[in-house]
Amino acid sequence: MKSISFFLLILALVSCRKSEEGVLRVPGLEESVEIVRDPYGINHIYAQNQADLFFAQGYLSAQDRLFQYEVWRRQATGTVAEILGESELKRDIGTRLFKYRGSMSEEMGYYHEDGIEIIEAYTKGVNAYIEQALASPETLPIEFKALGILPEKWTPEVVISRHQGLLGNIQEELAVGRAVALLGPEAVNSLLWFHPKTPDLTLQDGIDKEGLFEDILGLYEAYRKPVRFRADHILEAYRSTPVETALLNSAISNESHHPTAGEDSLSIGSNNWVVAGAKMANGKPLMANDPHRRIAVPSLRYMVHLVAPGWNVIGGGEPEIPGVSIGHNGFGAWGLTVFETDGEDLYVYDTHTDNPNQYRYQGQWEEMEVVKERISVKGLEPYTATLKYSRHGPVVFEDTLRHKAYAVRCAWMEPGGAPYLASLRMDQADSWETFREACTYSHIPGENMIWADADGDIGWQAVGIAPVRKNFSGLVPVPGDGRFEWAEYLPIGQKPHELNPERQFIATANENVTSDSYTHWDAIAYSWADPFRGFRIQEVLSESAPLTLEEMQELQTDYHSLPARELVPYLNSLELSGRSEEARKYFSDWDYTLAPNAIPAAIYVAWENEIRDVGHASFVPAEAREILRSLQLERILQWIREPESVFGNASNRDAFLHDTFNSAVEGLTRRLGEDMAQWQYGQKALKHTAMTHPLSDALSGEFKKGLDLGPLPRGGNGYTPGSTGNNYRQSSGASFRVIIPVGEWDKALGMNSPGQSGNPDSPYYSNLFQKWAEDEYFPMLYTKDSILKYADTREVLLPQQ
């Protein structure tokens, strides 16, 4: 039977005239695998067994993202200093310190009942492509040649790395602790928008306030930061000259972004929603999702279609892990946004004056566990790192003068903490009940998982490993002496959830969506995104008329600004003159949409930025401004709505709005010139997108050609559903989008910018960039007839003879 099937497969390939065809033997496969690639770069993989399916996914994704994979591998294994030198040693020490050191069989088995087979098959597929690439090193992408390196083999430990996950709030915790040390808990609670409950920010006895200002999280932050390449990392033949570097730095500074926008981590979020069939014009449910992350080339997401016995799932996820995190499987569709979950705490210990490896716990001295790691460093002798662990976790800093040590307790160090890998269980869900059961395995990140299925169900389940804190908030460092322990992890099934609500839709956008009637508040975070995106989505979905697929596209890329709708009317009561009065006139018939060609959008965003900047400078005491580096816009709007709280009275509030508007107009004049008719929002001097390749800054002109993309005009900002971040040069937002009408699977829409491939020589490197910048979509085809009709290429992978 298999030989007949294979004959028919070859016959089908021969008869296909539209696409390029090929047959390739790949060691490691058990049976033949068919690969159909569509014009948008998605590989549709048809395998005859599960192991071959994930082998092929690893093989093909490595083919598309080989350099991204090598960087990921080195970040995951703590071997970046081996190629970039001593400047990356701290990163590698941090990586080794936060390495998962538990049972690998328990770890892999957590993500799926066949997790060991799946992850090992995926790893073998990655390595099969690496072997193929090493056989012809002259064909390696430019990055390997410029750095003078070769790709190296993967192990399952690389797949389960946590280094790029959305892990927790430890940096916020230390910043809040430092702010409390300077200002006191009441002042910090008044400045920061903690909700839905008010946290206890008291610094307990045993916390040395001065000690909090040491470089406590240096190793953690080095472990988590992106790799940056410099000219001296590049072989001389490929290296940019000092003149080129100076010109580049000048260009970057001239593209100036809003100065504090990058500090507001809560402005980076995602949107998702599900709509019941009764609200849709076609009578069937719909799921939409657009996760917002760093805008980068290559993309942080990768799309694939996986078909084998028991599997038929299409969508996208992190490139370096098997399976699909967001998509559909012919039964239901699902998506995710961040559900703020505090899975990290900073513990502070008293250490023994004669033995710094001992710390006090419950009145006794305990010994730290010590691990030695040998780290290769380019140009130097290998470095031996001494890593220490308390009962709570990795020791990140030792203050020998004050006899203190600091450790980070991480929920994500538990088995099952690799980001998104538990999606493997969701990929095979065939009902709300099986999807919700799959969700109970999803530890990292904390997410709002939504579901819509062919039975007509729509549902929401918050996921993420959540410590229960009975006597502390988790927002400031606490003594590690045994008084402040996690009671347990809240079972995920007890986190907030909902099924088939009367309003006939569920929408989340990183804002707080937990009902006031919820009871497990000691496992719910206090920091949430501004509500504007979520409120706008709910506003549109609440409309009475049946909704269409086209309207869902419009909503996903919607640039309507709720803050503008609230703030602009205040201008009507202000006495403005000169250029400010001229600028105000542009708002007379404006619809509050931050469209790329809109002059009022440019004026408004400049004003909003001034409100945020001046608000921060005015209301955060000077000594804490470098710690609390931004205020949420919703917090400032709360003060504007009720001016007595901060301004004292409405007159002072109006003076604040008057002065910030004048400053915004002056700033735009300096930036764009006197002619307001040239103040369109979407231009290079204002809102635009430009993607820079990781090596671009370091390569000379002849080698960097074609690596960078843009600039192209953009609209929106970080507070519109079509989120483009709060920088003038877009640095975050939805490079990946899906809209899936349940049951009409071939009508699903997707986007993954700038392209599926990270290889600059690939036709799929940047083919989606302009379509994405213009808020377009491509069809996410599912049925094989449709896929074959539009195939770009078809290929068969055969086992080695």
Per-residue pLDDT of 517-546, as tens digits, reads 999 999 999 999 999 999 999 999 999 889
pLDDT tens, residue by residue, 397-438: 999 999 999 999 999 999 999 999 999 999 999 999 999 999
The DSSP element (H or E) to which 22 belongs, if any, is strand 20-26
Average pLDDT, the chain: 93
Q: Say what the alpha-carbon torsion angle 443, 444, 446, 448 is, to the nearest 10 degrees.
A: -80
Q: Is 720 left (phi over 0), alpha (psi -120 to 50) or beta?
A: beta
Indicate the angle between helix axes 115-135 and 50-64, nearest 10 degrees. Answer: 40
pLDDT of residue 147: 97
CB contact at 8 A, 161 and 76 = yes
DSSP string, 300-362: S-EEEEEEETTEEEEEEE-TTSSS-SEEE-SSEEEEEEE-----EEEEEEEB-SS-TTEEEET
pLDDT tens, residue by residue, 124-182: 999 999 999 999 999 999 999 999 999 999 999 999 999 988 788 999 999 999 999 99
Q: Note if the bond before 596 is cis, omega within 30 degrees.
A: no
pLDDT tens, residue by residue, 602-638: 999 999 999 999 999 999 999 999 999 999 999 999 9
Q: Find how far residue 112's CA is from the centre of its chain.
A: 23
pLDDT of residue 267: 53
CB contact at 8 A, 799 and 31 = yes
Label residue 293 by pLDDT band (50, 70, 90): confident
Label residue 242 by pLDDT band (50, 70, 90): low
State how far the alpha carbon of 211 is from the alpha carbons of 404, 406, 511, in Å. 8, 10, 33
Strands 20-26 and 793-799: parallel
Reference 233, options 148, 296, 150, 140; nearest CA is 148
The rounded percent of the chain whose pLDDT value lies above 90 is 91
Label residue 757 by pLDDT band (50, 70, 90): very high
Q: Identify the residue with better confidence: 63 or 701.
A: 63
Reference 33, options 14, 60, 66; nearest CA is 60
CB contact at 8 A, 757 and 65 = yes
Cα–Cα distance, 341 to 524 (Å, whole number): 7
Indicate the angle between helix axes 115-135 and 104-111, nearest 10 degrees. Answer: 100
CB contact at 8 A, 390 and 368 = yes
**Is the confidence at residue 548, as pLDDT, over 90?**
yes
pLDDT of residue 801: 80
User: Which residues 6+ apart lie within 8 Å of 314 measured at CB?
Assistant: 42, 44, 303, 304, 305, 306, 324, 327, 328, 329, 748, 780, 782
**Is the confidence at residue 252, as pLDDT, over 90?**
no
DSSP structure class, residue 35 = E
**Is the confidence at residue 5, as pLDDT, over 50?**
no
pLDDT of residue 320: 94
**Is the confidence at residue 276, as pLDDT, over 50?**
yes
Reference 173, options 524, 475, 415, 387; nearest CA is 475
CB contact at 8 A, 22 and 88 = no
619: buried, middle or exposed (CB in 10 Å: 19+, 13-18, 0-12)?
A: middle
| Three-state DSSP state, 168 | coil
Cα–Cα distance, 593 to 566 (Å, whole number): 13
Mean pLDDT of 493-515: 98
Mean pLDDT of 37-61: 98
State how far the alpha carbon of 503 is from the alpha carbons of 85, 273, 279, 499, 543, in Å. 57, 13, 9, 11, 10
Tokens of 738: 């899906």
CB contact at 8 A, 476 and 180 = yes
**Is the confidence at residue 671, as pLDDT, over 80?**
yes
**Is the confidence at residue 254, as pLDDT, over 70?**
no
Reference 47, options 797, 785, 789; nearest CA is 797
